[in-house]
Structures are given as C-alpha cells and as structure tokens.
Chain A
Amino acid sequence: MDNVTTAGHAPAGAHAHVHAHDHEQSFVWKYVFSQDHKVIGIQYTITALLFLLFGFALMALMRWQLAFPMQPIPVIGGLLGAANAPGGIMLPEFYNQLGAMHGTIMVFLGVVPLAVGGFGNYVMPLQIGAPDMAFPKLNMFSYWVYFIGGVVMFTSFFIPGGAAQSGWTSYPPLSVITATDGQTMWLIGMIFLITSSLLGSMNFIVTIIQLRAKGLHFFRLPFFVWAQFVTSFLLLLAFPPLEAAGVLQLMDKVAHTSFFLPSGLVVGNKVMAIAGGGNPLLWQHLFWFLAHPEVYVLILPAMGIVAEIIANNTRKPLWGYRVLVYAIIFLGFMSFVVWAHHMFMTGMGTTMSSFFQTTTMIISIPSVIILSALFLSLYGGSIRYNTPMLFALAFLPMFGIGGLTGLPLGLAPSDLHLHDTYYVIGHFHYVVAPGTIFALLAGIYYWFPKATGRQMNELLGKIHFVGSFIAINGIFFPMFIQGLHGVNRRLYDGGAQYAHAQPVLHWNVFMSYSAWTLMAFQLVFIVNFFWSIKGGKPVGNNPWSATTLDWTATTSPPLAHGNFETTPEVFRGPYEYSVPGRSTDYFPQNQRD
C-alpha cells in the first residue's frame, strides 16, 4: 500500500500503523489479488461479462433445438460430443442442462456480479467519497469465492452425466433423484456464490454507513448508492435461507437424507429406499424466499444506474428524489413477503394465495412510483441522446412491459392459466434482459471514461443499441403470444408435439433468428469495448459534466490508492443541474458555492 497519500487522509487520531509491503507491488498483487475496490470492480465486471456471454451462448444453442427440433446443429453440432448431441442432434438431457445452467449463470454469475460486484464495487465508494471499501481484504476474498463458484458451475458441464438439469429452481424431488452428479456440483457452486454475496453485501452496507464523506448525509446520497444499499440488505437477509436450503438438498444428495423427499416416493416403478417424511414444498418456500428478493437484487441496481444517467442527460434534477428513496426502501421491505406468488399452483391453499396476491399487488405500487418518477424526470429536460442515455431510455418502457405483464401472474386466478408457460419467460426476461441488462450496458458506456479515461465509440454504441433493441424485442415479445396459447416453458421440441401449440409454433423460428441477430450485435459491443480501452477518444475528468463525487472529486481513472487527492466534502444534493443564476448547468456536490 502507498503511504504517500496517507498523511492527507488519515482521520483525526491517526495511529502509527506500519504497512508490511510498501514498495512496488508485483503484478499478481496489483491485478490478481488486488485489494483496491476499483480493480476488484473491474475483475467482477470482466468475469461477469464473460459469464453473460457464455450463458447467452447456451441459449443460442437451445434456440436451434426450439426452432428446428431434431435437426443436427450446423457447424458446431459435432463439437458437443456424442454424450450430448450424437450426430449433432441435441439430446433432451443436454437441452435440460443448457436450460438449467442458462438461468443459473445469467442470474448468479452474470447479472448480480455485474450489477453489484462490478458497478457497486467500482462506483459506490467513489460516489460517497470513500478511499476504498470498509474491508478491502474481505472484498478481494468475495471476488475469489465468486470465481471459485463460477469455476465449479462451469466445470460441471464436463463431468460424466453433465451439469445440473432440473431447471435453475432445482425443484425436488426431480433434482434429488436425478442420478447424475451435476446437481451436487450445482449445490456446491451455489454455496460458494451465496457466501461471496453475503460477504460482499456486508462490506457494502458498512462502507455506505461508515465511510460517507463529510457532509454527505443520507438524503444527499446519489440514488445509485441508495439502490446498492437496499440491494445489499436483500442479499444479506434473503440469501442465507437459500444457503440453508442448499445445505439440506446437499444432504439429500450426498448423505441420503430425505428433507425434500416424501414417504413412499416411487421412481421408475420402485419405491425409493429412503427414510421419507420430507416435504418438496419446503424447498420451494426456502428457494423463493431468496429468489423473489433476488428479482429486486437484479432490478434495483439497474434503476440506480438509469436514475444517474437520466439526471445527467436531461440536465435537471431527478423528479421526486425523496419519493424515489422511500419507494426503494419500501420495495426492498415488501420483497420479503411476496415469495409464494411463485407457488399458486402447488396447492398451498386459497388463504395463502390471497395473502400473497395481495402483497404482490402492493409491491407493484413502489415499482410504479419509481418508473413514473423516472419518466417525469424527462419532462422539460434538454435531453442529450448519447449511447448511455439511449440504453437508459429504453430501460423505461422495457421494464414497464416486464412489470405490467407481471400483474396477471401475481393474481392467482390468471396465474393458473399462465403458470409455467412462455408468458412467464417473456415477463421476467423483459424485466431482466432489455430491462436490467440494458441498464447495465448503459452503465458500462457511462462509466467507461471513469475507468479508462477514454470514451467508447459513439457510432458503434448507437449501432449496438439499435440492433439490440430491435432484436431483443423480437425474441421476447412473441413469447407472450405463445404463452397465452398455453405453450409450456420447458418443452424440448418447443411445443411441436402439442396440438394447441400449432398456431403459434412458427414464432419459434422468428425468435431464434432474433436471438442470433442479438448475439451478432453484441460483437459490435465487444469490439468497441476492447478497441476503446486503447483507441477511444481521450476525455477529461468529467466528460458528462456530472455533479456526483465520482466525477467531480477525482481524476479519470481515479488515483490507484485512496481514490482522492484530498478527502472530499459535500455541500449539496446529488442532482443540482441547471441551477438558476450559475454560469455552468451543473453544480458539483463538493463545490462550496
């Protein structure tokens, strides 16, 4: 660590603390086992982007099988191995592996690590004027535990029998009785990922509470920081029950207990030799107790990113900042009491269903407040249509579609028809893909100059945006149509063998071409990303004329140790744009007057 900057930083009552390794850090300690939140943030970002690409590739394979069932996969079909795709034709077991792992990878290894581990780590300490996270060693540890979890998940494809194949929800008894070891690997991987998230969220909360700069009281925090704050509480309190559930299912798999296996379970015409007395519904309760808050873990950081970009590019304050904050806190709280709306079909009873559909309707209120406030923020602004803003603007209607189509799923009567159909897939993908992932892409374009000192190419960015926007709707909108016709979400042949699916079957081909088109447009992004690191337009410290500390109090990229030359002090709220009577249209938080 660097002691040169210490003198100016150490708070009152500094103590004589001697660092053991003060000289030049070797490559390994600087970039691999780094304790700098910025390096860790970039590590998370790169790893998560790779996993997003990998998860997307799994889906691209599945889309072939859905569009052209039982036909050999061209070009790469032969590479998948005889155990997965003999003659290039995908086996049902392999299809199930792809489906289960697509969901797991996208959620736990892609979006959450990118939104929280990547953006949270990189941006949040800068926005609150902190020299680093509160526990830098723990931060490094979180990343590496996440990495190990990712490796476990990835290698499970290559063990005999392949990866987990019981859906990303891993419902027992199916997940337990499936003879292959993929599920065991999944559970072990999940325990690593959960541990990583727990340690990370603890670190985030302590950092936000303890390391805010002088004058930065809670109602001066940028909305992005609020979003990370609430998200961290969700991770901290919702993940342990899934860890418990994971341990129980691991016991079922390895120690042959029957926590989730009922008495007299018949598999393959034989009564299973187990103690019995377990309850499959127990898993569903424990799983969804995490996995519903998890939905908000996916969406809240995205809302935070979008709020930052919208305020910056409309050049006016966010509409209703305090209301946004209250709404997001209420949203976080309510997300703990809606989980069983995923379980209307389990026969848990009408009383339970009534309770959970009521709470589900209530939770839509703060979501609508947030979305409305963001829409109203646009009114009267002189909007700059740069690439981050385009992605942020697209987030609003896309998340709107995703949210509104969720209402019929939250009501038990209509859910009975729509449950487990493609409608559900369309609904949550609108929230997560053109919703959250668009917001994350917006964030990458927005904070890229912060991390590199260079801007990504605008033309390529706009091509990436337009192509992705059209293609992604081409994938997910037809899913609503198929779902309303009752096409089940987990069919290996896309519904070809069902009479009721025939009128909407042709959409499968359209959706698959849309998916592959979407993938092609991501190449534009990948090229832009890597080319811009060295070849992008060099920009100043505050290229977007922003007000928050991440742009105004430090250089781009920030100082390697401690982030700031001098500890910043904050005098005003986060979105003081176009303040009357000032020469510039932005008023930085750390500027006295």
Chain B
Amino acid sequence: MEIPYTVEVRPDTGLFNGKLGIWLFLASEVMLFGALFSSYILLRVGSTEWPRGYEELSVPLAFFNTIVLISSSVTMVMAWASLRLHDFGKFRLYLGATILLALTFLVVKYFEYAHHLEAGEGPWHSTFLAIYFTLTGLHGIHILGGIIVNSYLWGPGAAMWKTEPQRFVNRIEIAGLYWHFVDLVWIFLFPVLYLL
C-alpha cells in the first residue's frame, strides 16, 4: 500500500502531504506561543512592578544568540538549495553548520541560565523570571527538537537521498520550515524579554 502525494504534489491543492502537515503544525505552534505571549502581556499589565529586561538579563549574549539563530536560518536555506542543485556535499556542510549554530545557541543559553540559578534566582524568584524561564525553556526544547531532527537528516536519514531524492528534498524543506519558525519565535522573544 502506498499513500498518495507523499512525494509528488496533488494537482488541485498544489501541496504534498508533509508540507500541508507542517504548516498545520506551525499553526498550532502559533497558538501555543501566542497563548504564552498573551499571558506575558496580561501578567505584565496587571503587575505593580515589572523589571526592565535589560536590567535583569544579558542583552549582549542574547544579541549574539540572535545573530547565531538568524545565521542558522540562512544555512538551513542554503542546505535545501544545495540539495535542489544536487550538491550533496555542500548540503551536508550547510546542514552541519545549522546544527552547530543551534548547539552554540543552547550553550550560550546554558550560561545565561546558570548565571541566574547560581544567584539563587530561579523561576520562583519573580513573575518576570518565571515567564522568562518558561518561554525560553519551551523555545529551547523546540531548538533541541530541531537539532535532533536535523542530525537525523544529516546522518542516517540522508540515506534516502540515494533511494528517493525528491522525498528527501521534501523532508529538508519541511525541517527548514520548522526551523525558520523556531527562529521566528526567538525574534519575538528577544525584544519582548530582553529589551522592553
């Protein structure tokens, strides 16, 4: 048995299954992070005192991480484009770079977390830190998920390039859409938590 339109596009919708699937998944992710951002707004509006992000958190580190993530989005696109151009070597290079950049992001995040926790200022310390840890923690889990998926596609999953090249290109495109979304969330998180 074969599921139709896993590889080729259905003519009347112009989509293959995975692409529609990932867009729907991202729609639900928008609702997830949307609810958390709404909670942030409601908590902040309802509070009597709310610290400035740049007083509590390290803006240079977060700025560095922003650059890291944007770069990783670029390398992700380059990985996909290389595959479209049938350059498997460059694909590996760019996808590898994406994974390394993502790991860099998490390492920086680890030092940020450690700095707070060493000072005894965990999520219980204030509502600001609570929402900071929750939002960045959830985002960090998404980064981790992306690293796992991309590593699979870089390593064992890449065998598909030999057997079903088009399907593999589709997978990279889907992984890329997810990765761009995770970056986009950070693009919102950075100003909301660190600058405002």
Contacts and interface: CB of A to CB of B under 8 A. Distances in A.
Contacts of B60: none
Given A2-B1, A15-B166, A131-B3, A289 B43 contact: no
A414 interface: no
Given A244-B32, A278-B127, A132 B8 contact: no
A411 interface: no
B134 interface: yes
A210 B39 contact: no
Contacts of A17: 2, 163-164
A14 B3 CA distance: 11
A581 to B, nearest CB: 32
A309 B46 CA distance: 51
Contact of B35 (A1, A18, A275, A286): A286
Given A210-B10, A210-B20, A277 B126 contact: yes
B127 A202 contact: no
A279 B130 CA distance: 13
Nearest to A136: B3
A279 B42 contact: yes
B25 to A, nearest CB: 6
A406 interface: no
Contacts of A286: 35, 39
Given A255-B133, A277-B43, A14 B31 contact: no
Interface stretch (B73-81, B117-125, B188-196): B117-125
Main SS class of interface, B = helix
A131 B21 CA distance: 18
Interface stretch (A159-167, A232-240, A459-467): A232-240
A375 to B, nearest CB: 35
A205 interface: yes
Interface string A6-32: 100111111111100000000000000
B71 interface: no
Given A15-B166, A135-B21, A259-B130, 19 more contacts: A1-B1, A12-B8, A15-B7, A16-B163, A132-B3, A133-B3, A135-B3, A202-B25, A209-B15, A236-B27, A236-B28, A245-B35, A257-B124, A257-B130, A257-B134, A275-B126, A276-B127, A277-B126, A562-B1
Contacts of A15: 7, 164, 166-167
A136 B15 CA distance: 18
A14 B2 contact: yes
Contacts of B35: 240-241, 244-245, 286, 289
Residue of A5, A277, A285 with most partner-chain B CB within 10 A: A277
A247 interface: yes
A11 B8 contact: yes
14 contacts: A14-B2, A16-B163, A133-B3, A134-B3, A203-B21, A205-B20, A210-B13, A236-B27, A244-B35, A257-B123, A274-B124, A275-B124, A286-B35, A289-B35
B37 to A, nearest CB: 9
A589 B42 CA distance: 52
Contact of B24 (A202, A211, A247): A202
Interface residues of A, number: 59
B125 A11 contact: no
Nearest to A3: B1
B39 A259 contact: yes
Contacts of A257: 123-124, 127, 130, 133-134
A65 B83 CA distance: 67
Q: Which 4 A-B pairs have the closest CB atoms?
A: A257-B130, A241-B35, A240-B32, A240-B31
Contacts of A277: 43, 46-48, 126-127
Contacts of B48: 277
A275 B28 contact: no
Contacts of A241: 31-32, 34-35
A206 interface: yes
Contacts of B42: 279, 282, 285
Contact of A134 (B17, B34, B122): B17
A561 interface: yes
Given A135-B21, A206-B24, A243-B32, A211 B123 contact: no
A209 B2 contact: no
B21 to A, nearest CB: 5
A247 B141 CA distance: 13
Contacts of A203: 21
Interface residues of B, number: 47
A336 to B, nearest CB: 10
A518 B55 CA distance: 63
A257 B32 CA distance: 19
A259 B163 contact: no
Interface string B112-144: 000000000011111100110110001000000
Contacts of B7: 13, 15
B2 A259 contact: no
A11 B16 CA distance: 13
Interface in A537-593: 561-562
A413 B124 CA distance: 40
A487 B189 CA distance: 47
B1 A9 contact: yes
A244 B36 contact: yes
Nearest to B167: A15
B4 interface: yes
Contact of A132 (B1, B29, B31, B130): B1
B5 interface: yes
Contacts of B164: 15, 17
Contact of A202 (B21, B34, B123, B138): B21
B17 to A, nearest CB: 4
Contacts of A247: 36, 134, 138
A135 B17 CA distance: 8
Contacts of A5: 1
A255 B127 contact: no
Interface in A220-259: 236-241, 243-245, 247-248, 251, 255-259
B1 A255 contact: no
A240 B6 CA distance: 26
Interface in A195-227: 198, 201-203, 205-206, 209-211
Nearest to B4: A11
A206 B16 CA distance: 9
A90 B148 CA distance: 49
B56 to A, nearest CB: 13
Contacts of A134: 3, 5-6, 17, 21
B21 A206 contact: yes
Contacts of A14: 2
Contact of A255 (B2, B124, B167): B124
A237 B1 contact: no
Quick one: which of B1, B28, B46, B126 has the most chain A CB within 10 A?
B1
